[in-house]
Amino acid sequence: MGRITLKEVTKSFGTVEVIKPINLEIEDGEFVVFVGPSGCGKSTLLRLIAGLEDVTSGHIEINGTDATAIPPAKRGLAMVFQSYALYPHMSVRKNIAFPLKMAGVDKTEINRKVDEAARVLNLSDYIDRRPGQLSGGQRQRVAIGRAIVREPDAFLFDEPLSNLDAALRGNMRLEISELHQTLATTMIYVTHDQVEAMTMANKIVVLRDGIIEQVGAPIDLYKNPRNLFVAEFIGSPKMNIIKGDAATELGAPTVGIRPEHLEVSKTKGKWKGTVGVSEHLGSDTFLHIEAEGIGTVNVRADGEIDLHHGDVAWLTPQVDKLHRFDATGLAI
Amino acid sequence: MATQNSRSAARLMMAPAVILLLGWMLVPLTMTLWFSFRKYLPLRGGDQGWVGFDNYVRFVSSSSFWPSVQTTLIIVGGVLIITVVFGILLALLLDQPMWGQGVVRILVIAPFFVMPTVSALVWKNIFMDPVNGLFAHLWKFFGATPVEWLSQASVQSIIMIVSWQWLPFATLILLTAVQSLDGERLEASEMDGANPLQRFGYIVLPHLARAITIVVLIQTIFLLSIFAEIFVTTGGAFGTKTLSYLIFQRVLESQNIGLGSAGGIYAVILANIVAIFLMRIVGKNLDA
């Protein structure tokens, strides 16, 4: 069981209110991702749930009981830190065994659980090494192993992949998703990377300045962003935001168009523009087009398109896929 | 080629300093060795020629030798234990965020800047004097008989004085080590269910191991040769005669340079044994 409920939770450091009253339901077995730009309070929110910070007001309920005053170790949550926070003077085995040792589990049981965790995480070959002798990905797995053996109600991940290189990050993303499928335990995951959020989450929580901007399934957020901030934050490359006369013509003060919803042609279209940088990725081509009266627009075209720097291109938006926003930035 | 050139140029430029330091060390060492094999009594006939290992045998077989070794070890060990234990506690305390942290830290370091002679005099006259000392007044205030510190508890008194001088050093080194401890590591252990005492034992103490060995190593080397504190307070009486003080007495009070030099060589050997022993511990710690 790992149902977590936040009720009117706030957090202030001195006079700075980092988390404004937040209400959130996390269901058992969900993979929830807190995403937002740096300084939005996502890590603080995770630490509040973990109990490493005390809430200023409000309540945190875990499995229906008020856990606001319960110390971190007793909340039944396990956390994986950004720096891994491994104990450098202990072997991998001792690192993973540490929480069990603290809980007073007997030796044979500890060994059985540690071996099992090491097997699941492919760490059996390194079990007697020290963290200093491991690569980044291996250390990450040890940190996850230390969390798994406790059999917690929920896992908390604080930007666990940000210290890894791009290729390894892709692999670990899959491994964590796979782990979630296997264990079916609630996971709360903090990241500033919207790709991680989109690919891993059942539910994304977009935060800005200590406020939840939107909660929903990844594809929901992508298709129906509630406001301009979410629209711009979710999706890569970023959504194009059009203002002024061109927007008014399309029926709103501000209009958003995703790069894949613009048709590009060499001969005809609605807006005329000049091709700037074009990024050929093979499967896709990302074009940066300087459109007249609109500004720079990102376009996702297919991989074989024959447009280069300086060429003239015509753009046509798919009218049914437009996102319209009012003057305050809320979706219409 | 360039590296070859710059390397020999570097050697050339370092040479004066190296030669100076080497001379500074080798000349007195050689002279001590030289005198240790000679019968040299400045006021009773001067240099009277070679005597082989006579001085070495006499120094060791003297009735004051083993007690002085014992006193040395007790003082060094006592000071080490006190400075390391209280150093760790003070470092943990000073690491806590508090008002006026900067000033408090400077105050804690202050005793280190007081000269050994001065601090020994201050302790002797202001604190430990059995008639006018602050301790005597404190004892009298509670109706107790004042302790004659430097005669009744002489070794303990010297340990206290020297510990007071060296505690800042230990605290300073240990404080930097405490500050370099990753906060997330402590939080991780907190999440793992370790109580404060277990966090200290399993996380903080292993992290401090290297700093502690460094403190022990450096202090041992300096503490083996403490002199001023003993000279100023007890003058070597009441069982406070350490090895270095014994050597001083042999040379200056007995006017026997040969015998004193032999003692000096013993002290050099002792210090080297300690140093090798500790270097190996430090080396082992640096591997981890």
Per-residue pLDDT averaged across A159-164, rounded? 86
- Cβ-Cβ contacts under 8 Å, A77 against chain B: 191
Comparing alpha-carbon positions, the chain B residue that sits nearest to A155 is B191
Task: Note the pLDDT of residue B246.
Answer: 87
CB contact under 8 A, A72 and B190: yes
pLDDT tens figures, B113-139: 888 889 888 888 888 887 888 888 888
Minimal Cβ distance to B193: which of A79, A85, A99: A99
Task: Note the pLDDT of residue B153.
Answer: 83
Comparing alpha-carbon positions, the chain B residue that sits nearest to A53 is B187
This model of the complex carries an ipTM of 0.81
Q: How many CB atoms are closer than 10 A to CB A59? A: 14
CATH number of domain containing B248: 1.10.3720.10
Residue A223 confidence (pLDDT) above 60: yes
What DSSP state is assigned to residue B96?
S
Which residues have CB under 8 Å from B288's CB, separation 6+?
A88, A89, A130
pLDDT tens figures, A20-30: 898 999 999 89
pLDDT tens figures, A250-291: 888 888 999 999 888 888 888 888 998 888 888 888 999 998
Per-residue pLDDT averaged across A108-113, rounded? 91
pLDDT tens figures, A304-326: 888 888 888 888 888 888 899 98
Comparing alpha-carbon positions, the chain B residue that sits nearest to A156 is B191
Task: Note the pLDDT of residue B23.
Answer: 92
Which residues have CB under 8 Å from B39's CB, separation 6+?
B47, B48, B49, B50, B51, B54, B55, B258
Q: With pLDDT > 70 as the criterion, what percentage of chain A qualifies? A: 100
Residue A97 confidence (pLDDT) above 80: yes
CB contact under 8 A, B194 and A102: yes
What DSSP state is assigned to residue B125?
I
Specify the 3-state DSSP secondary structure of B179. helix
Q: Which candidate in B186, B192, B212 is best for mutational testing of the A interface (most A CBs within 10 A)?
A: B192
Residue B288 confidence (pLDDT) above 60: no
Domains of chain A, CATH where assigned: 4-232 (3.40.50.300), 240-325 (2.40.50.140)
Per-residue pLDDT averaged across A191-220, rounded? 91
Q: Structural domain of residue B280, as residue ranges?
A: 2-287
Q: Find the distance separating the first CA and the last CA of chain B, reported in whole Å.
A: 37
Q: Are A94 and B192 in contact (CB under 8 A)?
A: no
Per-residue pLDDT averaged across A76-81, rounded? 90
pLDDT tens figures, B81-105: 999 999 999 999 888 888 888 888 8
Per the structure, how many domains does chain B have? 1
Minimal Cβ distance to A81: which of B188, B202, B288: B188
CB contact under 8 A, B193 and A87: no
Q: Are strands A284-291 and A271-280 parallel, antiparallel or unpaired?
A: antiparallel
CA–CA gap between residue A326 and residue A305 (Å, rounded): 35
Per-residue pLDDT averaged across A54-75, rounded? 88
Task: Note the pLDDT of residue B285.
Answer: 62
Q: Are A9 and A174 in contact (CB under 8 A)?
A: no
Per-residue pLDDT averaged across A31-53, rounded? 90
Specify the 3-state DSSP secondary structure of A301. strand
Per-residue pLDDT averaged across B42-62, rounded? 82
Residue B16 confidence (pLDDT) above 90: yes
